[in-house]
Structure 1
């Protein structure tokens, strides 16, 4: 097990004054996560990361040693690794041999290491990087990233990290793009006496150091790049096991703050039934050989693999379950097991993850709860920018509407698109396609799948394959156009009504639709995007009475415009 080196411990002392939020400032390169890659980045296969963190909360500082093992897919003369320049490097060795200080540079957050000799394709290299400094402090986590320093109600140290947007390089030297996941990670987190450090994967052991500190050792399998998390506080723990419907037994743990036992036990009681829903609806829990882990954090939440962050203050909701716990747990399937290969495909995480809450409401209470929860999501859809642009994007280019990104539409519009697709192709095809996208196969069982990367185009191909039909028109309309399809109803002079789809971009949109005529529901094929129905005088016509199809709704548009106007006046 690696130890912090003397060189690392000799780093200059940090300033005693705690850094304010948003500082130290980070470079444009560090703030950027994802985007187009250089050939030298794609040439690295990340085999293993051994990460030692020494946490110094009294100085709000972090020291680390990262031992990174890569295999070259193509010949290389240098390594390009992302690391915030606020964490200056004290030493680097390659394959056990120290490098001269002139062998690396890190002016903007992209660490460039010149190798002592060329690395042929197929050969491994081990880089050991010692670093430390004052990590960037988040302004409004988890909507931005960095350290989240806090105190428990009784004044004890409590903090956590978030890195989804700006990336893993805020805390450790990594490959800050979605496909940069290490195949395995060993974590060693040294914390002051009286504090605990629940983290990713399986607990290997706790070392008690002579000075009273403890080192928490964890081992995780192929974690998402931003999912590696530090969570430190005077935690108490509730633990138990879940007997999976697939035959395996899964350990469960929740780490919470002292004084919250009753509320913590109520949340922990949701773990097993929620797991059962996901296993019945999607498939096996992907990390059953590690754990289901949740930790209370001083920020809202995040899908940190097997140690999901929870900061919802045990809020109660009319649906009878904690939506935040449920949503973050959904990412163990949609985000950690299935990882979008490009930020442009991130709706695969958030659209599916958001759709799971109404589905769980339906699982628990039936269709009424499902529709109520979906209606809440419907009113949040903005339709300002397409969800997918079919090019390599950064995280900010997806989340920031000012950069042309869909923002929260990857959540709510993605969820509603899936609701419509499920009705269109039927439950059997919908859930089969979902399993194939998540697991890469239709018959997932513990031990026969591993975490994988997916994309929008792949999911389209799977849907077409499963159904035996071409639904590209569906995905093009909902994902690649900002506006929604509009179903225009036009009364005709001969006691008939024409229904015609007006698709954004002018493409074909043969979406069937249900109509209710005097209470009798029928489904119109709309094969050419148009249908005509008899509506004699006195006919009461309701289009899409069960709200199955995502389409333009002028009332929702007016409501959103009015809401935005009210906010602007405040």
Structure 2
């Protein structure tokens, strides 16, 4: 749910299939604000190294105030830099070397002017003070913002979810996925009696003597801006371990016993994901689940959980097969993002299928670990009912465009199709694990992903990726029957599309190598019902002509 981002309307249930906040469809017109947010302009030619975010949250006024100290290294001479902060938030001051800097605002960008241009390749920092009433989400996590709720006992219960909308909704930062701070110190002052749980390791708490307590957390791994969060509530804490990984859980007191039972699924999940994807990418920061007043999000090392301690997706099965009711969707999906999205991050959100497609596939990986491959294939096939095939998975670059909601399960079914093309499960699992380990803590592009999997097999996967990611329609395997002879060919957007595909001829599996020209099936087929595509392994369309 990375975002999360655009809601996917599931045909069967009329529900969103994930918690990510994503745009509903690919935009055709973009504004200056989109370009300022989505492009790597000259004013963004600096590498963020650290954030020290200190904020005070007033639940009664729904008001926040504080500062972010941004430590960075210049990549070229910079007379000014762009820092992002939503225009409804007030800039109180920006301090650099004990002097207050001038700035200009345009949309959600703040252009900070230096008295003298910063030289290239210089380490520097500034302190950005700000305050205001942040945007409140109407339906988190599908729209971004703060969530100000109260729990069943009347205590304030507050959380943040901003993927897609932007972390600059509530704190100043370089709001682009191409740049992640190497470490973050998050310090949040909240009313006494409440706790704040943020990313990374708990560092300390301090009673400020004014009715507020400051909770400090430190992240020691690279982290996406949208993953930096606050979770404020009357939490109780319990913990466990998996190998050398600390598992920490923060839940509301009246849900403690349900949580202890439900969160038992974390350990078999970790066992599966360690085997298939490699070691948890953020061992130094630990793994946490924190109960939230919204459904869930993949916030790094502090996964948001709001699935009401139900199996499936709030008690529903997104695949329509019944298999999805065997596991807690939010635990599995959002934790899968720790490998895909949090560790491996798309440089531009146009490529965010790298987060969502692989994470949706991780649901099937978990099913296969626990219940076997056939159930995993059935589950993936069932999820196709939520795929629209109306707009491309990949969005437009440089304008903060995320592409279509098909990135989730069309992306997952694309990966399953590529696994089937490999036709070698040992090679597939080796390649997938090598991918996660090669690009651990890396920011990459779709082209990087395509090349990695293409290099692992003799089949040319470039036309396959291109068809599924950059075009909306599925490739169609066409058949025509003349007497007892059956002919087949591909109908696809790409002229060079020649993907192999497995079919069943009278119940026996056979691999075909169609091209865009008609080919003859050697076997005699008297009844066209004796021939069908193995649609558990390949996600394609098919049609008979004549």
Instruction: Please tell me the TM-score bracket, short chain as reference.
Output: 0.7 to 0.9
State the Cα deviation string for residues 317-375 of structure 1 (Å, max 9, x = none): 35421011110001100001100011111111000000111121121111342133112
Asked whether the 8 Å contact 1:511–1:526 carries over to 2, the reply is yes
* Structure 2 partner of 1:7: none
* Structure 1 partner of 2:38: 35
Asked whether the 8 Å contact 2:346–2:355 carries over to 1, the reply is yes
Q: Secondary structure at the match of 1:190?
A: strand
Question: Is 516-525 or 304-313 further displaced after alignment?
Answer: 516-525
Shift of 1:473: 1.2
State the Cα deviation string for residues 457-494 of structure 1 (Å, max 9, x = none): 0111112222244321111111111110011110013x
Alpha-carbon separation, structure 2, partners of 1:29 and 1:233: 38
Out of 537, 540, 545, the residue aligned to residue 551 of structure 1 is: 540
Asked whether the 8 Å contact 2:481–2:528 carries over to 1, the reply is no
Asked whether the 8 Å contact 1:31–1:167 carries over to 2, the reply is no
CA 1:390/1:242 → structure 2, altered by over 3 Å: closer, same or farther?
same
Alpha-carbon separation, structure 2, partners of 1:31 and 1:228: 22
Shift of 1:204: 1.3
Alpha-carbon separation, structure 2, partners of 1:177 and 1:114: 20
CA 1:410/1:269 → structure 2, altered by over 3 Å: closer, same or farther?
same
Out of 247, 250, 253, the residue aligned to residue 252 of structure 1 is: 247
* Structure 2 partner of 1:76: 78
State the Cα deviation string for residues 143-170 of structure 1 (Å, max 9, x = none): 1101111010111100101110111101
Asked whether the 8 Å contact 1:71–1:125 carries over to 2, the reply is yes
Alpha-carbon separation, structure 2, partners of 1:526 and 1:165: 40
Shift of 1:538: 5.4
Alpha-carbon separation, structure 2, partners of 1:211 and 1:553: 68
CA 1:528/1:32 → structure 2, altered by over 3 Å: closer, same or farther?
closer
Asked whether the 8 Å contact 2:500–2:511 carries over to 1, the reply is yes
* Structure 1 partner of 2:240: 240
CA 1:89/1:391 → structure 2, altered by over 3 Å: closer, same or farther?
closer
Out of 334, 340, 350, the residue aligned to residue 344 of structure 1 is: 350
* Structure 2 partner of 1:465: 455
* Structure 1 partner of 2:146: 147
Shift of 1:210: 2.2
Instruction: Spell out the pairing of 1:471-482 with structure 2 (5 A cutoff).
Output: 471-482=461-472
Shift of 1:525: 3.0
**Do structure 1's residue 501 and structure 2's residue 490 form an aligned pair?**
yes
* Structure 1 partner of 2:125: 126
Q: Secondary structure at the match of 2:429?
A: helix
Structure with higher RCO (Cα < 8 A, 6+ apart): 2
* Structure 1 partner of 2:386: 380
Out of 286, 289, 301, the residue aligned to residue 284 of structure 2 is: 289
Alpha-carbon separation, structure 1, partners of 2:335 and 2:147: 21
CA 1:324/1:553 → structure 2, altered by over 3 Å: closer, same or farther?
farther
TM normalised by structure 2 equals: 0.87
Shift of 1:390: 6.7
Asked whether the 8 Å contact 1:490–1:499 carries over to 2, the reply is yes
Alpha-carbon separation, structure 1, partners of 2:473 and 2:169: 36
**Do structure 1's residue 278 and structure 2's residue 273 form an aligned pair?**
yes
CA 1:151/1:30 → structure 2, altered by over 3 Å: closer, same or farther?
farther
Instruction: Spell out the pairing of 1:367-406 with structure 2 (5 A cutoff).
Output: 367-388=373-394, 391-394=397-400, 397-398=401-402, 405-406=403-404
Shift of 1:311: 1.1
Alpha-carbon separation, structure 1, partners of 2:443 and 2:506: 49
Alpha-carbon separation, structure 2, partners of 1:390 and 1:365: 39
Instruction: Spell out the pairing of 1:275-354 with structure 2 (5 A cutoff).
Output: 275-317=270-312, 318-319=322-323, 320-354=326-360
State the Cα deviation string for residues 53-72 of structure 1 (Å, max 9, x = none): 11110111001111111111
Asked whether the 8 Å contact 1:339–1:453 carries over to 2, the reply is yes
Please report the RMSD computed on the Cα atoms of aligned residues, expressed in angstroms.
2.1
Asked whether the 8 Å contact 1:510–1:529 carries over to 2, the reply is no
* Structure 2 partner of 1:558: none
Q: Secondary structure at the match of 1:271?
A: helix
Shift of 1:296: 0.9
Instruction: Spell out the pairing of 1:485-524 with structure 2 (5 A cutoff).
Output: 485-493=475-483, 495-503=484-492, 505-524=493-512
Asked whether the 8 Å contact 1:206–1:216 carries over to 2, the reply is yes
State the Cα deviation string for residues 163-202 of structure 1 (Å, max 9, x = none): 1011110111101111121111111111111111111011
Q: Secondary structure at the match of 1:270?
A: helix
CA 1:345/1:538 → structure 2, altered by over 3 Å: closer, same or farther?
closer
Alpha-carbon separation, structure 1, partners of 2:508 and 2:85: 63
Alpha-carbon separation, structure 2, partners of 1:554 and 1:215: 63
* Structure 2 partner of 1:483: 473
CA 1:191/1:545 → structure 2, altered by over 3 Å: closer, same or farther?
same
Q: Secondary structure at the match of 2:365?
A: helix
* Structure 1 partner of 2:409: 412
* Structure 2 partner of 1:445: none
Shift of 1:530: 4.5
Asked whether the 8 Å contact 1:512–1:525 carries over to 2, the reply is yes
Alpha-carbon separation, structure 2, partners of 1:33 and 1:314: 41
